[in-house]
Amino acid sequence: MNAPIDFYFDFSSPYGYLASHKIEALAARYGRGVTWRPMLLGVAFKATGSGPLPSIPLKGDYAKRDFLRSARFHGVPFRMPEPFPVSTVAACRAFYSLNDPKEQVLLAKALFRAYFIDNVNIGEASQVLKISNSLGLRPEIDSQAVKDKTRAEVEAALAKGVFGSPYIVIDGEPFWGVDRFDQIERWLKEPF
Amino acid sequence: MNAPIDFYFDFSSPYGYLASHKIEALAARYGRGVTWRPMLLGVAFKATGSGPLPSIPLKGDYAKRDFLRSARFHGVPFRMPEPFPVSTVAACRAFYSLNDPKEQVLLAKALFRAYFIDNVNIGEASQVLKISNSLGLRPEIDSQAVKDKTRAEVEAALAKGVFGSPYIVIDGEPFWGVDRFDQIERWLKEPF
């Protein structure tokens, strides 16, 4: 069995959301698992001097169009959420407060679905808890241990060079963007 | 005959160079021509508050790796030039000083080849002229009329929302990046 693929993403990233719909099937075709690793784009933006796409002149208008078109291209249900983007600290903490990867992924998918399909503001801690509870999960997002663990995970991602979402690492090889899935697929067949 | 595809690029953009190898065959498969439209990324960066990829923390290191891998993925000969990036004002002026689109494209391909295969510094006006002369072309890069025309073309590109390279526009629909060629191909079949 080959090592699992590292899948870094931010819960409010449209391209991260699109990737979340495709990564598991792609990995499975090549006998791989996926380790889901939410991070905070806001922290990465401080390192790269960037900001949320919609806030950038010219690029922002293009991005809003490209989100919708890319969702249609990949056949993924998508609705532009409002507000956008939102802080994903509570979502991230809820994820990392869980210890079972299956529960983590279950919650991650529900949070993505809430934000990008049902237009629920997952920037609000109360909504994150409500979604979690509906799955029978009881994440602790206010404990210091969970805060520390979340911060350590986000810092570890940055230390590995993760600056965007989605950011996929396969045996040390990094791929940024759902638009690198064609390269990822070829890489999984054989590194080139 | 459908309208030609607008192909915007900067002469020192690796992704623009990769796109230059693919755009004509792709367009031809759908009965389209291509209008080559060099622009100046430096001017666009002022509008978006961005800068050359290698200068950006984290993203820069990734970009250098991705340039090489993307070239291998697309099967395009590529060598990382040094220095990189360079000013492409002289290259742009030489291009726009020519009136025959066939001569423009001939020169554009030679400039790309010089920079990304032969490691010739096309940031130097003398090199641009040498390459032009080797093709039997005599561009005037110092005339005020050519400077004005180049500035007008670059400003027109920005006014159309062009902020990156390559940037392709098909019947008003914009696509940024060589990694949108899969979407471009589907769009040429039928807008989605």
Burial of B51 (0-12, 13-18, 19+ CB in 10 A): middle
Amino acid B50: pLDDT: 87
Q: Determine how many CB atoms are found less than 10 A away from the CB of residue A162.
A: 27
Model pTM score: 0.96
* B166–chain A Cβ distance below 8 A for any pair: no
The verdict on a CB contact (< 8 Å) between B48 and A65 is no
Share of chain B above pLDDT 90, in %: 94
B53-82: per-residue pLDDT in tens?
A: 888 999 999 999 999 999 999 999 999 999
Ramachandran class of A76: left when φ > 0, alpha when ψ lies in -120 to 50, beta otherwise: beta
A 29-68: CB under 8 A from B: 44, 47-50, 56-59, 61-62, 65-66
The verdict on a CB contact (< 8 Å) between A70 and B183 is yes
- At A118, the pLDDT band (50, 70, 90 cuts) reads very high
Nearest to A163 among B44, B59, B163 (CB): B59
The verdict on a CB contact (< 8 Å) between B69 and A174 is no
Provide the ipTM. Answer: 0.95
Average pLDDT, chain B: 96
Q: How far apart are CA A92 and CA A9, in angstroms?
A: 10
> Which of A162-176, B37-51, B126-140 shows the lowest per-residue confidence on average (mean pLDDT)?
B37-51
Amino acid A54: pLDDT: 84
- The answer, yes or no, to whether residue B1 has pLDDT greater than 80, is no
Angstrom CA distances, A108 to A3, A17, A96, B65, B155, stand at 21, 10, 10, 30, 44
- At A1, the pLDDT band (50, 70, 90 cuts) reads low
* B24–chain A Cβ distance below 8 A for any pair: no
Q: A20: which residues sit within 8 A by CB, 6+ positions away?
A: A7, A9, A108, A109, A112, A166
The verdict on a CB contact (< 8 Å) between B59 and A183 is no
3-class DSSP assignment, residue B162: coil
Q: Average pLDDT in the B150-172 region? A: 97
Give the count of alpha carbons within 13 A of B150, CB side only.
Answer: 25
Amino acid B25: pLDDT: 98
The verdict on a CB contact (< 8 Å) between B48 and A57 is yes
